[in-house]
Structure 1
Amino acid sequence: MTNLATLLDDTAYAHPDRTAVVAAGTQLSYNEIQAASNQVANLLAANGIGRGDTVALSMPNIPHFTIAYFGILKAGACVVPLNILLKSREVAYHLRDSNAKAYFAFEGTSELPIGTEAAAGFEQTDTCASLFLIHADPATTAPWTQQSPAFETVDVDDDDTAVILYTSGTTGQPKGAQLRHRNMRDNALSCEQILAVDRTRPDTYLCALPLFHSFGQTVIQNGGIASGGTIVMMPRFDPLVAVRTMLDNHVTVFAGVPTMYWNLLTHTDRDDVDRLASTLRIASSGGAALPAEVHKDFKAMFGVTILEGYGLSETSPVASFSVYGDEPRVGSIGRPIPGVQMRLVDASWAEVPNTVGAIGEIAIKGHNVMKGYHNRPDATAEAIKDGWFRTGDLATRDADGYYYIVDRAKDMIIRGGFNVYPREIEELLMTHPAVSLVAVVGVPHESHGEEIKAVVVKADPSDKVTESDLVEWSKEQLAAYKYPRIVEFVEAIPMTSTGKLLKRKLV
């Protein structure tokens, strides 16, 4: 049996009474999650949906996400998780592009009317036959509750598509990365090794990363279920609530993007620091480069070293990870995980010289690489060659095989013919005592092509430091072609729904 859903089947069989999910004061056992997922599978089967069909899913971090996710897989269908912030026009695009035959959506709230947008998007398509709404009122039964809780998981082929994850669409319309059952299964199982999981002492995971995103979906949900852990769901990240939730539930594993760590450092009540440090076993970061200052400050405050990893939706997502137990190399995304190869290539796919400091684009090959982009053979051929997937991320590699992200290829600034990597400038500015958060971008310039701009959130809004002060300070620290000529103070930097800095909004 190769179906990704067997991760749940196996754990529910071995530990039926163990707590699988905690959400809003409610605890659900593995047996309860298994039974509800079987009901979802029966509902889909009753509507003629089975192996090879696609089913979309719009839900925040609530138990219904996990129940529907595994129910869709059990039926032999492919899950298409959608960003809960999508508007109706965008929903319709994703339903049509993925050829979804059915759609599960949470009702949402007045502030975030997921169900309203879902219904409007559903009405704009003629290919999706069924919309199943899950209501916010816990007294209202889910659409599948009348179905039988018994279902035999459909056998599939290893290379059948299990999940279609849509890219953010920063360069055109979003593309759907087709991830096989073996891609997702092997990546989830690899999390046991890279997080040093002991199945005899199951972990408790804080699920603050959105489940519609690959990081939270694979590392927290699928990896946690595979190892028999407990998943504590948090629909929306708030640093104070996150700390309280971790303390109340004795969370041992926290995974987040860099902005989450920045928020924890700037908002955590000092009285809670020691208590949290006594229970937290693993802290991992991905999704974007973690500033060295955040790395250092988190270790100093909580006594836990953040383990950095790297991956993309197209790689299921984990491709590399820091080695647990080894002395951390701050700024490194670690080494390739078992079964995965990485190398640095140039624009023509040729491998760059294997010398320390040489910069190239990361290419990845292994069990985690997607089948291709859904219905986009040209885009697939451009991204994958001889099994190697090129990522668009520039990096260097040290003598021991550890990789270090330099920047996104598309974020690189070319000023007067010189290549400038924003991350280097961001790392420097983060060491200034007046700076709490920073994003560096290139803006059009008449003679230089691009000029360097730093958008800064102050550590203390009342600080008297000026934009000019930071320009002069940077000038003393950086080569003449690198330092930012423009500094702009803001109260907040726009972010994506997954917590990444939205740099295109700053240009």
Structure 2
Amino acid sequence: MLNLSTFLEDSALRHGKRPAYTCHGKTYTFFSINEEANKLANALVTIGIRPGDKIAISCPNLVQFPIVYYGVLKAGGVVVPLSILLKKNEIAYQLKDSDSKVYFCFQGNEEFPMGKYGWEAFREVNDCEHFFMVMPEPQNTLPIDDIQTLSWLVHNQSPSYESIPTKAEDIAVIIYTSGTTGSPKGAELTHANLFLNALLSANSILGLHTNDVQLITLPLFHILAMTVQMNTCIFKGAHCILVPRFDPEKVLELIGEYGVSIFVGVPTMYWALLDYLRNRPEKQPGEHKLRLCISGGASLPVKVLQDFEELFNVLILEGYGMSEGSPVVTFNHRQIGRKPGSVGTPIWGVEVKVVDQEGNEVPTGEKGELWYRGHNVMKGYYGLKEETERILTNGWLHSGDIAIKDDDGFFYIVDRIKDMIIRGGKNVYPREIEETMIRHEAISQVSVVGVPCERLGQEIKAFVVLKNGKTVTGEAIIKWTKEKIAAYKYPREIEFVKTLPLNASGKILKKELRR
């Protein structure tokens, strides 16, 4: 028997009075979080929820997210976290596709009307039986315009609950991902998947201990924040500072105010922090308690890594993962050592190899698709047997990423297969071009994509964000880049933009740039 909610129950017992979460200046202890999760579990049983039922939630980084998350798990349910950026039709699709019985949705505001979209979507899905609005102030227990609230649901419920004993192979979370291709698919992650990934992340990667403080600005519905931050801190009894929206100034302020020791981000966050400080000499980081930074979600440009480490005098460890892998697959382990630019070596219990189109392992140093298998691999895509069989071969999950393994066993992600550009029959990897261009003195950020070309099939185009106060022509950038990489690789088109399109977790949306 194994239930991921054991993390919370154990920490409530061992570290009950210690701070678990701080959000908007208010701090909640492990004991109080566990009691609130118990109330929710009791409420779910009261409205007829049974083990295995799916419960969806749309909520930013607020304390209500972990309360719902662990409350659902205690009741033997399956958590279905939805992106807070989804619109009505997208929400309705995922509610219906996941067979969700209950939907918790944050109210939002006029600028960001999550509650409005969620309520409209819920009303279109006949099999989703209950809707509860998550309010900014948890103590509000009255229905809003006849819509029941989370606080109303748990009002007067008992703070004690005996968790349902689930099996290790039972589904704990269904997290939606585009996978390697196609429409969003629900990756089924088991209690064992998430339990082991959090345990290994806490011990082998973060070296997490009770006195650590993590700042969580990645969205909790994203698998990286969920596993490597939320679950690890609950497991180890560490303190989390919840930030509902990433803002460089606010993040730097909170790092100092709360003595944050671990920061986890995606590459665009590290770039944004550097860009903010680059233009504000008076705001340079002074004394801080940061001892470790983690980067995931996409490849971190080496130049950004080096500049950040020098400025903050802190180590950044980069890793690789995906939703289907719970998420961590490889990492630059502190015990083994690291190589900047690489995603490290496999985590304990996971095998990784690089293969050709026939699934045969390629020689060291050659490019191929990264496959992996182990305790982290999802059970499958919910309700999609053929899609599951397509992506899994004898337990090996096909990542859709192009990688290289070096002589020391370190892996390097070259690019996504779907992002690779085929120009005149030659394979061109955008990341290689981006790593070169980011070193130009005037370039702050860059993203490279392939665009249709009648003569060559695809042509190379770069979208460039310039540093404040810097000016340069597209022709000059093309000439500069041409001198540093092979003739078939340099971009023929440059488009200057103020910002690059990002998703909710901070990844650059290349599909938006291709339009």
Please give the range of the TM-score, normalised by the shorter of the 2 chains: over 0.9
1:306 equivalent to 2:316? Answer yes
Counterparts in 2 of 1:326 and 1:299: CA distance versus 1, 3 Å: farther
Deviation at 1:345, TM superposition (A): 1.2
1:429 equivalent to 2:437? Answer yes
Structure 2, unpaired ranges of 5+: 142-150
2:289 aligned partner? 279
Deviation at 1:274, TM superposition (A): 4.2
1:262 aligned partner? 271
Q: Distance in 2 between matches of 1:272 and 1:325?
A: 34
The one-letter amino acid of 2:257's match is D
- Equivalent positions of 1:174-185 (< 5 A) are 174-185=184-195
Q: Distance in 1 between matches of 2:335 and 2:170?
A: 36
Q: Distance in 1 between matches of 2:318 and 2:225?
A: 14
Deviation at 1:487, TM superposition (A): 0.8
Deviation at 1:271, TM superposition (A): 5.1
The size of the alignment, in residue pairs, is: 502
Counterparts in 2 of 1:492 and 1:211: CA distance versus 1, 3 Å: same
1:215 equivalent to 2:224? Answer yes
Deviation at 1:58, TM superposition (A): 0.5
1:497 aligned partner? 504
Segments ≥4 residues shifted beyond 4 Å: 269-274
1:292 equivalent to 2:299? Answer no
Which segment is superposed worse, 465-474 or 168-177? Answer: 168-177
The one-letter amino acid of 1:73's match is L
Q: Distance in 1 between matches of 2:338 and 2:322?
A: 22
1:135 aligned partner? 135
The one-letter amino acid of 1:279's match is K
Counterparts in 2 of 1:170 and 1:335: CA distance versus 1, 3 Å: closer
1:400 equivalent to 2:408? Answer yes
1:362 aligned partner? 370
Counterparts in 2 of 1:198 and 1:449: CA distance versus 1, 3 Å: closer
Q: Distance in 2 between matches of 1:327 and 1:465?
A: 39
The one-letter amino acid of 1:92's match is A
Q: Distance in 2 between matches of 1:139 and 1:161?
A: 31
Of residues 157, 161, 165, the one that matches 1:155 is 165
1:60 equivalent to 2:55? Answer no
Q: Distance in 2 between matches of 1:170 and 1:83?
A: 18
2:244 aligned partner? 235
2:476 aligned partner? 469
Deviation at 1:59, TM superposition (A): 0.2
Q: Secondary structure at the match of 1:149?
A: coil
Q: Distance in 1 between matches of 2:444 and 2:471?
A: 14
Q: Secondary structure at the match of 1:4?
A: coil
Q: Distance in 2 between matches of 1:496 and 1:428?
A: 24
The one-letter amino acid of 1:439's match is S
1:332 aligned partner? 342
CA contact (8 A) 1:195 1:282 kept: no
Q: Distance in 1 between matches of 2:483 and 2:186?
A: 45
CA contact (8 A) 2:442 2:471 kept: no
CA contact (8 A) 2:206 2:292 kept: no
Q: Distance in 2 between matches of 1:443 and 1:305?
A: 37
1:444 aligned partner? 452
Of residues 398, 402, 418, the one that matches 1:410 is 418
Deviation at 1:272, TM superposition (A): 5.2
Q: Secondary structure at the match of 1:500?
A: coil
Q: Distance in 2 between matches of 1:130 and 1:138?
A: 19
Q: Distance in 2 between matches of 1:89 and 1:420?
A: 36
CA contact (8 A) 1:273 1:302 kept: no
1:72 aligned partner? 72
Deviation at 1:170, TM superposition (A): 7.8
Q: Secondary structure at the match of 1:275?
A: coil
CA contact (8 A) 1:36 1:145 kept: no
Deviation at 1:198, TM superposition (A): 4.9
Deviation at 1:173, TM superposition (A): 1.9
Q: Distance in 2 between matches of 1:434 and 1:449?
A: 30
The alignment yields a C-alpha RMSD, in angstroms, of 1.3
Deviation at 1:171, TM superposition (A): 3.6
TM-score w.r.t. length of structure 2: 0.95
The one-letter amino acid of 2:491's match is P
Q: Distance in 2 between matches of 1:471 and 1:263?
A: 25
Q: Deviations over 1:252-295 (max 9, x none)?
A: 0100000000011111355554435x300110000000001101
The one-letter amino acid of 1:257's match is V
CA contact (8 A) 1:194 1:321 kept: no
Q: Distance in 2 between matches of 1:253 and 1:29?
A: 20
Q: Distance in 2 between matches of 1:40 and 1:197?
A: 32
The one-letter amino acid of 2:65's match is F
Deviation at 1:60, TM superposition (A): 0.2
Deviation at 1:145, TM superposition (A): 2.7
Counterparts in 2 of 1:406 and 1:459: CA distance versus 1, 3 Å: same
Deviation at 1:172, TM superposition (A): 2.8
Deviation at 1:194, TM superposition (A): 2.6
The one-letter amino acid of 1:469's match is A
The one-letter amino acid of 1:303's match is N
Q: Distance in 1 between matches of 2:430 and 2:183?
A: 26
Q: Distance in 2 between matches of 1:230 and 1:464?
A: 44
Of residues 199, 215, 226, the one that matches 1:206 is 215
Deviation at 1:463, TM superposition (A): 2.5
Q: Secondary structure at the match of 2:286?
A: helix
The one-letter amino acid of 1:425's match is I
Q: Distance in 1 between matches of 2:204 and 2:443?
A: 33
2:148 aligned partner? none
1:478 equivalent to 2:485? Answer yes
1:371 aligned partner? 379
